[in-house]
Structure 1
């Protein structure tokens, strides 16, 4: 599947197109007008059973297909977010077959770029079990060309990020294909030291352009793999779109990488 990539100014490497499609009427027009594509990570609130996940992922795929037909360049990920673990999934007996079969089916689609959004949020044992099970499944499947997208929380970010990285140390074959998202100037060094790709969210309450400049001053060339995103869901991220239009960033070539090229390279989108 080939698309005219040079027409894009940016790829929102982490958003929630399904939620925006429902709650933000201007979503389509904004992304289309600004020539921004995106990757929609799985996040479904209030899910009552793991049996509903295949239907949810099918809807996400159908949305991406529809958006592309309408001129929006979108892909998606499948996974169980730590805040979206249904009551009937405790992880003690592994991942249900209905879940893994559906994930495998979606990973065969060129629109599905991998597994995500997975990770740890509050730090509960249940979250960690589900996280490990998804990592184990991903490592066993070793689906060529697919990626793993990992969530880090707003609260207790430093400690939980380090815990996530400690867990990931047991899944080394996944490291070249894994992105740790929602990093901050404080947590980026831990991710970079472990040799993992990082994502930074330009959104009120998460990170700002000032945070990005701080990271550039501290880490310089280490940002050459960093991907920017909006994590857009209930609203469109003004800081993310402001940055696209901002001409004051000191390194224009790096800006193109942060907004588009690093994402294209990491997710191997040109080969699709």
Structure 2
């Protein structure tokens, strides 16, 4: 959940809906950054202030993943400076992984940043959140899988996110985890639940972007309730919205939340 873009009231609402812990991936924050220092200020904000705000607002455990997201990887000189500094942030106490990384337009600069950050995560045995592109999504997802295989990184520590009915067959051919982002323009809850009915729940997890656009910080609790309303067994629902994401991030040495 990109809670840096949400109000304190949203933390309170999420906590009342059963959200006790959230992961905040670094992402494109609405406008292209013009200086490497803007990234460093942003990383500090989500690592430090946002973590304290989550606890102060609603007693929510807040963790962070750090990465140069693909859109701004295309500013190559700036991106190089950011990539050089990312390892410093990966050693911070509440940083539990690398991400979001992946593709936006599918450029060579994006691929360079993607490969480099995959290697950073592999060296530190950290989980990785991968952003599949908004356009040409099936082809972009195939390219992501090819790069993962080419870099020979640990697929069990990777979640391929933003899956749709057009990418699920590609993602499930890997040993990666499969993420569905419940968000307008990505996938709605009913479609995601349909895909779970077809493909099962192993390594499947729901998340919500909850960013500045029309989105919902309660998307996962609402999907949980839809699954129950559709007759899903409570333990299977718990697996998708709690146990799977917990098991994925529990691979990080900095993830200390307990269920």
Q: TM-score, normalised by structure 1?
A: 0.81
Offset at residue 251 of structure 1 (A): 2.9
Aligned residue among 91, 105, 127 for 1:108:
91
Instruction: For 1:125 and 1:188, locate their aligned partners in 2 and report how far apart those are by CA, in whole Å.
Output: 25
Are positions 1:266 and 2:228 aligned together? no
Distance 1:225 1:267, change over 3 A: same
Task: Name the counterpart of 1:68.
Answer: 55
User: SS at 1:224's partner residue?
Assistant: coil
Offset at residue 120 of structure 1 (A): 0.4
CA contact (8 A) 1:202 1:209 kept: yes
Count, aligned residues: 245
Task: Name the counterpart of 1:77.
Answer: 65
Instruction: For 1:53 and 1:213, locate their aligned partners in 2 and report how far apart those are by CA, in whole Å.
Output: 36
Instruction: For 1:270 and 1:225, locate their aligned partners in 2 and report how far apart those are by CA, in whole Å.
Output: 20
RMSD over equivalenced CA pairs, Å: 2.3
Structure 1 runs of 4+ off > 4 angstroms? none
CA contact (8 A) 1:181 1:201 kept: yes
Offset at residue 89 of structure 1 (A): 2.9
Task: Name the counterpart of 2:128.
Answer: 148
Are positions 1:47 and 2:33 aligned together? yes
Distance 1:65 1:26, change over 3 A: closer
Instruction: For 2:99 and 2:191, locate their aligned partners in 1 and report how far apart those are by CA, in whole Å.
Output: 25
Are positions 1:87 and 2:69 aligned together? no
Distance 1:138 1:243, change over 3 A: closer
User: SS at 1:154's partner residue?
Assistant: coil
Are positions 1:202 and 2:186 aligned together? no
CA contact (8 A) 1:54 1:99 kept: no
Q: Which has the higher contact order (CA 8 A, sep 6+)?
A: 1
User: SS at 2:247's partner residue?
Assistant: helix
Are positions 1:248 and 2:248 aligned together? no
Q: TM-score, normalised by structure 2?
A: 0.85
